[in-house]
Amino acid sequence: MNLLLDTHVLLWWLSDNPRLSKKGRKSIEDADTVWVSAVTGWEIETKRARGLLEAPGDLEEALRFNDFRPLPLRFGHAVAAGQLPAIHRDPFDRMLVAQAKLEGLVLVTVDKEIAKYGVAVIAG
At residue 48, the pLDDT reads 87
Query: How many CB atoms lie under 10 A from the CB of residue 49?
Result: 8
54 confidence band (pLDDT: 50, 70, 90): confident
> Do the Cβ atoms of 14 and 56 come closer than 8 Å?
yes
State pLDDT tens for residues 72-117. 999 999 999 999 998 878 889 999 999 999 999 999 999 999 999 9
pTM for this structure? 0.92
- Domains detected in the chain: 2-123 (3.40.50.1010)
- Average pLDDT on 20-44 reads 96
At residue 124, the pLDDT reads 75
34 confidence band (pLDDT: 50, 70, 90): very high
Distance CA 59, CA 66 (A): 11
DSSP 102: H
